[in-house]
Amino acid sequence: MKERIIKYLKDQGRSNINDLAAALDMSGAERFPELIKAISKLESKGQLRFNNDGYISLRKEKAKKKEITVQGVFRANKAGFGFLHVSDDEEDMFIGRTDVSYAIDGDTVAVEIKKPANRLKGTAAEARVVKVIERSIKTVVGKFILDDERPKYAGYIKSKNQKISQKIYIKKEPVVLDGTEIIKVDIEKYPTRHHDYFVATVRDIVGHQGDVGIDVLEVLESMDIVSEFPEDVMAEAQAISDAPSESDMVGRLDLRDEITFTIDGKEAKDLDDAVHIKRLDNGNYELGVHIADVSYYVTEGSALDREAIVRGTSVYVTDRVVPMLPECLSNGICSLNPNVDRLTQSAIMEINPQGRVVAHQIRQTVIKTTFRMTYDDVNEMLAGNQEVIEQFKPIMEALTQMAELHKILEDMRVRRGALNFDTAEARTLVDDKGLPIDIVVRDRGIAERMIESFMLAANECVAEHFAKAQLPFIYRIHEQPKTEKLQKFMDYASLFGIQIYGTANNLSQKALQEFMTKMQGQPGQEVMAMMLLRSMQQARYSEHNHGHYGLAADYYTHFTSPIRRYPDLLVHRMVREYSDLTEEKKEHFAEVIPELASSSSTLERRAIEAERTVEAMKKAEYMEGHVGEEFDALIASVVKFGMFVELPNTVEGLVHITTLSEFYTYNERTMTLQGEKSGKVFRVGQPIRVKLTRADKETGDIDFSYLPSDFDIVEKVDLEGRKARQEKTREFHRGPRRDRRSDYGSKYKGGDYKKTKKNGDFSYDSQRKSAKKPDKRKNQNRPHNDKKGRETVRRRKKNRGT
C-alpha cells in the first residue's frame, strides 16, 4: 500500500485524498480507513506532508551534508587527546579525547573536520576520528600478570607505552605462564564500543623479570627493534670474505700510500670513516674523507639489503647497540681497521682559505689506514701533550693542518648563518648487571668538532655534485621553521631583553645566530639553545632538495655512515651506479627513492624515541637512589602547572605548582610564576634549589620540590591585579546578581518575585518587603495562591483564548 501511494504521488506530484483513494481503488467504507492509516504512517516517517491547500505530496529528501574527511596518522597524548598528522607541510589537527574513538597512537585514520583552523587567532583545526584505516600496533611487549577476572583469558599485560591505557588480555594457550615472564604478543582484537580492552596471543617469551638488561630489552622489543638477524641474513653476511681480493680493487683509485687514519671514540668498533689532509702549493688544502664501501657488499635486493631497509638505522641505547647490519660486517670487512686494505668511497676536496670547495672528485677507492686514533689522544696532541705526540709523531703535522682547516670551515659556516645546537649531552654509565651507577656529561673537544666539520663538508659536497648533475637523489633536508613556533621562541627570547631582528614570517639564520651569540655566558644560554632547537622542524630525508636551514646549506645529504644509516648506503649505491649512467638507472632510482626516504625518516624517529625512552628510564632509575637529596638546578621551562628544572647532569624533573607553599599566578606573556603574597618569581634560566621527592623508573617521571635559597628573586606584587582576581573569585562563588529592576521587580521598588513549583508562575512575596500595589487593574497582581487570585488568573486565560 505504501509503495503504491509513493508511486502515485511521484507520478502526479500532489493529490487530494479523494483522488488518491479513487486512483488506488480504496474509496469504499471498508478500505478507506486502511488508506488513511497508511498515509498517517508515511507522514509520521516524514515521507509525505499535508500542504496548506489540503493536498498531500512527497517530501523532498534533504541532501545529506557532505562530510569532509581527511586521512593521516594519529599521534596520541597520554592524557587522552591527540593530533592528526597529514604531512610535514601542514599543521597537525587537534582531536579531543571524546573524538578519538578507539584510535591508537600511530594508526592511520580518517577524520571529519569539526572546526577549520583560524590563522588569525592561531588556533589549529579540530577533527573527529570516523574510521581506523590501518592499525600501527600489531605486537606488544609487557610483563604478564596472572588474573582470573575474565575466566576465558589466562591474564593480561600492561603495555609500557603510556599512550595505551587499556589492558591486553592473553588467550589461554598450551604455553604455561606463571606470571614472571616478559612476553611478546600478537594483537587479534582491538578496543571497540563493545569491549574496552585488547585480546592477544603469545608470540614469544622475551625473558623473565629480574634478567640482566630485561628492562632495556622490553623497551626495544615493544618498538619492534630486534637484535637477532634472520638466518638467511646471517648466512649471507658470513659468506663475505674477511679481506678484499685483487679483483675487488679493479677500477678503484689506489690511496694506500696516503697517510690516512681514523678518529673515533675509544669504545667504537665499527670504524667507518677515515681522513687525510695535504697543504697544496697554491695555499689550499686537500681533504680526503674516506667512507667504508658498504654498498659493495650489501647489494640491492639481497637479504642483507632487505633487512637493512626494515631496520633503517642502528639504535644506540645505554648499554648496547642494535645494529643495522650484522657485526661480522660492521666490525669486520667494513671497518677501517689500521694496516689492512679496505674498499672505500671517497670525497676528495680542494678547499681554499675561505672554506670554499673549489674542486672535488667523488671516487671508489682503496685505502690502508696508518693509525686508529681516539678523540682523547687527538685532543691531548693538539693541547701539546709531548708523550702522546711522540707516540703518534708521523701524523702530528697532519693533525695541525686539520685543526687549521676545521677553524676555516667553522668560520665559513658561521659567516653564512649556520646555527649552533651544541647542547650538553650526558651518558648514563651502568654496571655489569645493567644498573646505572653514574651520569656523565659528554665534553666535546676540538677532535670531535673537527671530524664533524669534515663529515659536514663531505656531505655537502656529494649533495651538491648530484643536485647539479640533475640526477634522482636522496637529500637530508631541514625546512624553515613554522611561523607559529618561531613567534613563540621570539616571545620567549624577549624575556631576556635581547632583541631578535626580523619577523617570524621572515627570520634569517643570521638573526638567530646573533641572538645566541649575545646569550653566551648568560644564565639561560643552555635553555635558550634547547628552546631554539625545539622551535625547528625535524630534519628528514626527501627526494626533493629543500636545503638545510640549521646548517644554512643549500645542499646536504648523508654520505658518511653507511654502516649505521640506510640513506648513506643508498647514496653509496648511487655513486657506483651513476658512474655508468643509463636512463633505466635514472628511472629506477626516481621510483624507489621516495618510499625509501619516507621509511628511513620514520625509522629514524622510532630510533630516537627508543633512545629517549631508555635514557629517561635509566636516569629515573639512577635518581631513585637519591630521593630526599637536595640539588642546585636551573629552570628549563615554566608552565601553568609548575616548572621543569634541570640538574647539571642533565636530569630533568617537575616542580608541581601544588607543592609550592603559597598561591602562584602564571603570567602567560612573560612565562613566569609569581607568589601572590611573597612576590617570589620563577622564570626560565633562573637558578633554583630543589629537593628530589620521587623518581619512577617505569614511567621515567622525576619530581622535585622547591627549597628557599639565595637564588630566589622577589619582585613587587601587582596588588591591583590581585584585588581584581580576588573580586572575580568572590563573584564566581556568590553567583549571578539578581537584577531587581528587570522583569516583574521593576514594578515594585524593593519588591521580590519568586517562581513557585506549585503554579509555575511568578508571585509577589509580600513577606519580604511591603510595596504599594499599582492601580491599573483591580486584582492584577493579587497573589495566585489564594482563591480569588486563582479565579482571576483563570478568567484572564479564558479571555486570552477567546
Predicted confidence (pLDDT) per residue in 61-86, tens digit: 654 455 568 899 999 888 889 999 88
Backbone angles phi, psi at 345, to 5 degrees: -115, 135
- pLDDT exceeds 70 at position 556: yes
Hey, how many other C-beta atoms are within 10 angstroms of the C-beta on 298?
27
Q: What is the pLDDT of residue 740?
A: 42
Reported pTM? 0.77
Domains within the chain, CATH numbers bracketed: 2-58 (1.10.10), 69-134 (2.40.50.140), 139-211 (2.40.50.700), 233-477+554-613 (no CATH), 483-536 (no CATH), 627-734 (2.40.50.140), 743-801 (no CATH)
Least confident of 224-228, 490-494, 735-739: 735-739
Question: What band does 729 get if pLDDT is binned at 50, 70 and 90?
Answer: low
Backbone angles phi, psi at 49, to 5 degrees: -145, 155
Cβ distance 242 to 337 under 8 Å?
no
Sheet holding 285-292, edge to edge: 253-254, 357-368, 341-351, 285-292, 273-279, 261-264, 371-374
Cβ distance 336 to 271 under 8 Å?
yes
Question: What band does 719 get if pLDDT is binned at 50, 70 and 90?
Answer: low
- Arithmetic mean of pLDDT over the chain: 86
Q: Rounded to whole angstroms, how far apart are CA atoms 268 and 376?
A: 13
DSSP secondary-structure letter at 329?
I
Cβ distance 418 to 532 under 8 Å?
no
Contacts of 273 (CB under 8 A, 6+ apart): 262, 289, 290, 291, 292, 336, 451, 455, 560, 561
Q: What percent of the chain has pLDDT over 70?
A: 88
Q: Rounded to whole angstroms, how far apart are CA atoms 85 and 523?
A: 36
Contacts of 426 (CB under 8 A, 6+ apart): 439, 440, 441, 442, 649, 650
Q: Which three cell numbers stand for residue 380?
A: 691531548
Q: Rounded to whole angstroms, how far apart are CA atoms 359 and 344?
A: 20
Question: What band does 531 get if pLDDT is binned at 50, 70 and 90?
Answer: confident
Query: Tens digit of pLDDT for each residue in 117-167?
Result: 876 666 788 999 999 999 988 888 889 999 888 888 989 998 877 778 788
**Cα Rg, the chain, nearest whole Å:** 37
Least confident of 107-121, 326-340, 425-439, 641-655: 107-121
Q: What is the pLDDT of residue 455?
A: 97
Q: Rounded to whole angstroms, how far apart are CA atoms 544 and 547?
A: 9
